[in-house]
Copies of this chain bind each other. A is one copy, B any other.
Amino acid sequence: MRQPVALSHASRLVNHGPTALIITEHAGRRNVMAAAWSMPVEFTPPRIAVVVDKKTYTSELLLASGRFALCLPVPAQADLTFRVGSESGRDIHDGHDKFARHGIATFAGPVLGLPLVEGCCAWLELERIAEPHSEQAYDTVFGEVVSAQADDRVFANGRWSFRDDNAPWHTLHHLGGGAFAVPSRVVQGRLAAA
């Protein structure tokens, strides 16, 4: 079940390196693309950096609107993630978009109203922090998280809990060529020597 996540815990959602779907919308046009390259850069305020190739339709909509969202897909969405990461929304000319082409159900983000993807395990809305040099030189966009939500079957009390009984809501981590690793095993480090 989708639940709000405290903004102070938002960085935890992407701390372990999941692949995300990036959502953008501007002036009646919207897009969804896969992005493997993102990371938190600050806990408070919660800030995230994400790499968005400046040639992409996503980059165009992101820079024009100043906002974007990250949705974390689950194993059942591996095909979808690979597909939306392998085509450009700019190439769809039949009046539809990638959401329509792939039958992607959405709900409105609570703060920015961006079309978030149903069935993911976590969702973040972000406002772009304008950093033209990083965007130009490294395709690196900085954003501040303004809403965070997660499925409480797999993320609760500020922590992921990856277990056999919630495997359908684990995150995806792109290895290349559409192969995604799933973090289904957990090891606990200890500070004191045993």
Query: Measuring CB to CB, which residues of chain A are less than 8 angstroms from any residue of chain B?
Result: 12, 15-19, 36-42, 47, 49, 51, 75, 78-83, 86, 131, 133-134, 137-140, 142, 158-160, 162, 172-191, 193
Q: Which residues from chain B contact A15 at a C-beta distance below 8 Å? A: 36-37, 174-176
The reply to whether B189 and A162 contact each other, CB–CB distance below 8 Å, is no
The reply to whether B159 and A187 contact each other, CB–CB distance below 8 Å, is no
The reply to whether B16 and A39 contact each other, CB–CB distance below 8 Å, is no
The reply to whether A40 and B41 contact each other, CB–CB distance below 8 Å, is no
Instruction: Give chain A's interface secondary structure class.
Output: mixed
The reply to whether B182 and A173 contact each other, CB–CB distance below 8 Å, is no
Closest 5 CB pairs of A and B: A17-B17, A82-B189, A181-B183, A16-B173, A178-B189
Q: Which residues from chain B contact A177 at a C-beta distance below 8 Å? A: 159
How many Å lie between the Cα of A38 and that of B17 in the bound state? 8
Return the chain B residue nearest A78 by Cβ. Answer: B189
Return the chain B residue nearest A9 by Cβ. Answer: B176
The reply to whether B138 and A41 contact each other, CB–CB distance below 8 Å, is yes
Q: Which residues from chain B contact A188 at a C-beta distance below 8 Å? A: 78, 178-180
Closest CB in chain B relative to A164 CB, distance in Å: 11
Q: Which of the residues B39, B75, B139, B182 comes within 8 Å of A51, measured between beta carbons?
A: B39
Q: Which of the residues B36, B81, B138, B178 comes within 8 Å of A42, measured between beta carbons?
A: B138
The reply to whether B42 and A189 contact each other, CB–CB distance below 8 Å, is no
Give 5 A-B contacts (CB < 8 Å), ordered by A residue: A79-B190, A79-B191, A83-B191, A159-B175, A183-B183
